């Protein structure tokens, strides 16, 4: 009898990449065990299948929130010879899927050395804004104090600012929509209605599956904590508040004719300040958790991508809050250039960095919402 133990779970299905072949092997192992089915969405979704194509595996990879509970709970995790490490394997598959869905395809290489790429783009962007400010403004204007409505626009005309950021934002939206479309096609264009979208939105908003089945993440060891969920909430809602702040300010400008900067008690500033604080604490907490994370769970080659996105969010908040505090001082000009440079690079790199995880995970949750209904209705294959 040949010794197959080292290849336990190996199937005959052909896969596009080695990591998808490994993911297939693990899902075959896990499907014959099923002890983890109560932990998250990945395992119930797995149980609906007996074989796993690339699209299925990309779906499961993006459905995984990386809470690590299944690794701490697995009797077949390394050093066991079955070598079952679902969080890490799916993390790599997930990252590779981001590159595969990137639009335009020519830019998918940005995912390969993502930390470096984003650092360079951010540096160039900041440099361009500072240079632009210096070229267009005389030193007394750039280094002077400005107060009252329209103060920012003395350094950069509003139409320019709106034009540049509108274009960057639009580009990011189009590129990400194309990526989302590619993902949706890859996972077989599942049918989904408003009910599924609502359900997925609820799951995403509460990070329902970043809780190790109820107790929290297994980050450093098998002792669960809820820190990552808390910090992700701070990050996500901080980001939304900042986005809301910008949206309200845009409304003020065009609908009410009120020009920034706004007083501290006005809505855009309140929203931006709250969001900015969230975006300082959240990414810092996530970064700290990342540094303490059990190395066995970490996809080391994507360290740069993970860190770059958190650092960009942190810098966005830091420069934004600094601008708020120091906006009446001569530092305002340079801080504005700095903040705009960071925000601009955040926008244009959004489709080529960790930001897209939210998009694909949301779509995976939409599909899972449908599958969960099929399980409940008894219309699923193995329900």
Partner 1 sequence: MVDWSKTWDVLVVGGGNAALCAAISAARGGASVLVLEAAPRFYRGGNTRHTRNMRCAHDAATDILTGPYTEEEFWDDLLRVTGGRTDEQLARFMIAESKPMLTWIAEQGVRWQPSLGGTLSLGRTNSFFLGGGRAMLNALYLTAESLGVEVAYDAEVVALDIDGGTFRQATVKRPDGNHILRARALVAAAGGFESNFDWLREHWGSPADNFLIRGTPYNKGKVLRLLLDAGVEAIGDPTQCHAVAIDARAPKFDGGIITRLDCVVFGIVVNKDAVRFYDEGEDVWPKRYAIWGRLVAAQPDQIAYIVFDAPSLGMFMPSLYPAIGAASIRELAGKLGLDPDALERTVNDFNAAVRPGSFDHTILDDCRTEGLTPPKSHWARRIEKPPFYAYPVRPGITFTYLGTRVNRDARMRMADGSDAANMFAAGEIMAGNVLGQGYAAGMGMTIGSVFGRIAGREAAIGARG
Q: Which residues bind partner 1 (CB under 8 A)?
A: 1-5, 8-12, 28-29, 31-39, 44, 47, 50, 69-70, 72-77, 79-81, 213-215, 222-223, 382
> 3-class DSSP state for residue 143?
coil
Nearer to partner 1, 35 or 160 (CB): 35
Closest CA relative to residue 241, chosen from 269, 216, 262, 264: 269
Q: Which helix (H) or strand (E) holds 167?
A: helix 158-186
Nearer to partner 1, 44 or 275 (CB): 44
Q: How far is the CB of 29 from partner 1 (least distance, A)?
A: 6
Sign of CA dihedral 283, 285, 288, 293: negative
Between the CA atoms of 136, 139, 143 and 149, what dihedral angle is there, to the nearest 10 degrees?
Answer: -50
Q: What values do phi and psi take at 18, rounded to 5?
A: -60, -35
User: Residues near 274 by Cβ (< 8 Å), separated by ≥ 6?
Assistant: 238, 241
CB-count exposure of residue 48 (10 Å: 0-12, 13-18, 19+): middle
Q: How far is the CB of 60 from partner 1 (least distance, A)?
A: 15
Nearer to partner 1, 79 or 257 (CB): 79
Nearer to partner 1, 83 or 290 (CB): 83
Q: How far is the CB of 11 from partner 1 (least distance, A)?
A: 6
Nearer to partner 1, 179 or 224 (CB): 224
Q: How far is the CB of 188 from partner 1 (least distance, A)?
A: 20
Closest CA relative to residue 364, chosen from 22, 44, 40, 64: 64
Please report how the helices 356-377 and 86-101 are oriented relative to each other, as an axis angle in degrees rounded to 10. Answer: 120
> 3-class DSSP state for residue 218?
strand
Nearer to partner 1, 159 or 222 (CB): 222
Q: How far is the CB of 40 from partner 1 (least distance, A)?
A: 10
Q: How far is the CB of 148 from partner 1 (least distance, A)?
A: 59
């Amino acid at each position: 009898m040949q010794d197959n133990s080292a290849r336990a779970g190996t199937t005959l299905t052909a896969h596009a990449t080695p990591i998808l072949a490994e993911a297939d092997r693990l899902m075959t192992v896990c499907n014959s065990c099923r002890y983890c089915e109560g932990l998250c969405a990945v395992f119930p979704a797995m149980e609906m299948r007996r074989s796993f194509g690339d699209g299925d595996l990309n779906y499961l990879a993006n459905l995984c929130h990386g809470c690590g509970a299944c690794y701490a709970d697995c009797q077949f995790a390394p050093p066991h010879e079955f070598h079952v490490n679902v969080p890490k394997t799916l993390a790599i598959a997930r990252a590779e899927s981001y590159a595969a869905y990137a639009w335009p395809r020519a830019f998918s290489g940005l995912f390969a050395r993502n930390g470096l790429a984003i650092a360079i783009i951010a540096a160039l962007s900041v440099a361009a804004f500072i240079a632009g400010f210096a070229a267009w403004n005389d030193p007394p204007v750039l280094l002077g104090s400005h107060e009252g409505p329209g103060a920012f626009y003395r350094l950069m005309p509003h139409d320019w600012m709106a034009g540049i950021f509108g274009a960057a934002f639009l580009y990011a939206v189009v590129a990400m929509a194309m990526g989302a479309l590619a993902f949706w096609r890859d996972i077989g264009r599942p049918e989904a209605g408003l009910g599924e979208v609502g359900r997925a939105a609820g799951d995403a908003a509460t990070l329902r599956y970043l809780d190790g089945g109820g107790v929290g993440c297994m980050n450093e060891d098998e002792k669960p904590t809820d820190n990552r969920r808390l910090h992700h909430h701070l990050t996500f809602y901080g980001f939304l508040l900042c986005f809301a702040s910008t949206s309200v300010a845009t409304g003020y400008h065009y609908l009410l004719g009120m020009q920034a900067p706004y007083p501290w008690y006005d809505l855009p500033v309140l929203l931006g300040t709250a969001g900015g604080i969230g975006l300082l604490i959240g990414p810092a907490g996530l970064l700290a958790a990342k540094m303490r994370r059990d190395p066995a769970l970490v996809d080391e080659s994507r360290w740069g991508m993970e860190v770059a996105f958190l650092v960009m969010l942190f810098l966005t908040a830091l420069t934004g809050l600094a601008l708020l505090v120091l906006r009446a001082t001569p530092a305002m000009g340079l801080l504005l250039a700095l903040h705009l440079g960071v925000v601009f690079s955040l926008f244009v790199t959004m489709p080529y960095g960790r930001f897209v995880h939210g998009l694909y995970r949301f779509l995976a949750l939409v599909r899972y919402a449908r599958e969960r209904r099929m399980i409940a209705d008894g219309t699923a294959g193995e329900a």
